[in-house]
Structure 1
């Protein structure tokens, strides 16, 4: 039995400036709605607040293939939201590529 995995899976851990949390959460909430409405190749796009760390968030993304990821990354709604979200950050995000083990 071969492994089944998405070509593109990653996690992102980031911290948001305390006074920018509400703005950030609004931007990300809209982004997630846009992704699920427009990106059939998005298998998973979840963002969660880390319990006990109210300004820290984890993203989990999985796309069916590189083309699906590229469509998402170049979408107008993503391009418009990204600079606004980046302006809310407190430090650099930590990106990790993930791979399936089953």
Structure 2
């Protein structure tokens, strides 16, 4: 963790997996990839070095990955893997539906 501008921190984590990457540009597979993200509030979410977490944050166009105070952060448990894998296959309601055979 490195103190960022203002009261925030820049945190570097090692990914053990990615269920939904959103706007993140990650290699495939993302396992053991380092990811830096900005945490605007240095005391939230509380994270301990060496622990595994499930993180759901945002990607800002000008700053990149960010974990605001209202982000979802919980300790990761391997028994959650199947549920998370199933959820990762679902399309988010805000994503546009592409017609079959069309190219983006």
Using the size of structure 2 for normalisation, the TM-score is: 0.30
Instruction: Select the structure of larger CA radius of gyration.
Output: 2
Using the size of structure 1 for normalisation, the TM-score is: 0.30
